[in-house]
Amino acid sequence: MSVNQAFINTLIKPEVLAMNAYKVADATGFIKLDAMENPYHWPSELTQQWLQSLTDCPLNRYPDPGARALSEKIKHCQKIPEHCQLLLGNGSDEIIQILLMALAPDACVLSPDPGFVMYRQISQSLSLNYCAVDLLSDSFDLDMLAMRKKITEQQPAIIFLAYPNNPTGNLFDTDAIREIIALAPGLVIVDEAYEPFADASFIQALKNHDNLLIMGTVSKLGLAGLRLGYIAGHNKIIEQLNKIRLPYNINTLTQATVLFALENKTIFQDQSAVICTEREQLFASLSQLSELQCFPSRANFILFKTLRHDANQIFQRLKKEKILIKNLSHQNQALTNCLRVTIGKTNENRAFMHALKKAFE
């Protein structure tokens, strides 16, 4: 038996054959502004305390399967209503996978477009019926006429709304989201990955809506390497999701480290505040360039569109200057000539602006 394409075709389902793997660019030697990471390290004193706190971690034992101490801490820190239960995931990506694995085989998954690619990617890998609804073209706001129509027609089991949205950076209208929650025949997942920068959240709405779930992550806050996400919602729903979750999905070091980090939360809050200030400065600088249109952001990145240049070329010129951002030009019709830059440190943002101006010459 030789592993040729014909063999692969008989083995792998068509939906997977048609997919592209999620590509991550090699950033070695680059100023890395492509992945919404927090650019700041911890003060060395805190690092020492953290290492100390890990000394007694029982690595010979399996982790606490329910990550109880960490769940309680997150519940407290995020002011999650008392009646709600939490499920933790190896990044919120894993939670998206768990949610989708729980659905009936012919279920519809609905999400605005452009949106977070994993909703589509994982839906397709599980052969679910993924349904994208275009955002309004100028504002990237929800097109409520289209949303109402699709919800009625498709009866989605799950609707994903990223709040703020990635890659557009905006917060959808609150009333529109409330209407969607009320209209939805299934679950509505409000994905608050960028909550640390948004100054807005639907967490308190959990009190009034049983079909609402709020998803969060510590990745964008500054702990992307640990892989920890969470989802909060009605215990009857979390109970079902817990059946699919692998028993020890959050490793001991991640449990201990996130717990430690949340006990020292002010440092991350301070860093997020600095990132928001830098975002406003970078937005002001970008807005002065007539070569582009930039979109207001409530996240730690800014989306912009080149008006007179091919964005692919600008992206390549930035790369030559050792600056890595994200090229979204091919991802979606609505994102033609769009690039996304993550907010970095002051000097990194300056280097980016310098290289960008040069790229437009």
Ligand X SMILES: *Cc1c(COP(=O)(O)O)cnc(C)c1O
Residues that bind ligand X (CB under 6 A): 36, 91-93, 116, 162, 166, 191, 193, 217, 219, 224, 229
Report, in Å, the least distance between residue 99 CB and ligand X: 12
The DSSP bridge pattern shows strands 338-342 and 301-306 to be antiparallel
- What is the smallest separation between the CB atom of 153 and ligand X, expressed in angstroms? 25
Q: Looking at beta carbons only, is 117 or 289 nearer to ligand X?
A: 117
Whole-number minimum distance, CB 163 to ligand X, in Å? 9
In angstroms, the CA 219 to CA 191 distance is 13
Whether residue 14 has a cis bond before it, omega within 30° of 0? no
Beta carbon of residue 215, minimum distance to ligand X (angstroms, whole number):
7
**Which position has the token pair 């209209």?**
183
What is 159-216 written as a DSSP string?
EEEESS-TTT-PPPPHHHHHHHHHH-SSEEEEE-TTHHHHS---GGGGGT-TTEEEEE
Query: 3-class DSSP state for residue 233?
Result: strand
Angle, vertex CA 27, rays to CA 26 and CA 32, nearest 5: 145
Enumerate residues 6+ apart whose C-beta is below 8 A from 292: 286, 304, 305, 306, 307
Closer to ligand X by Cβ: residue 85 or 111? 111
Q: Which is nearer to ligand X, 67 or 355 (CB)?
A: 67
Q: Which residues pair with 113 in a beta bridge?
A: 134
| CB of 166 vs ligand X, minimal distance in Å | 4
User: CA-CA distance, 319 to 316, in Å (whole number)?
Assistant: 5
How near is the Cβ of 218 to ligand X at its closest, in Å?
7
Q: Minimum CB separation from ligand X for residue 92, in Å? A: 4
192 or 348: whose CB is closer to ligand X? Answer: 192
Nearer to ligand X, 198 or 355 (CB): 198
Of 36 and 343, CB closest to ligand X: 36
Distance from C-alpha of 177 to C-alpha of 141, rounded to nearest angstrom: 11
Measured from the CB atom, is 217 or 255 closer to ligand X? Answer: 217
Shortest-Cβ-distance residue relative to ligand X: 91
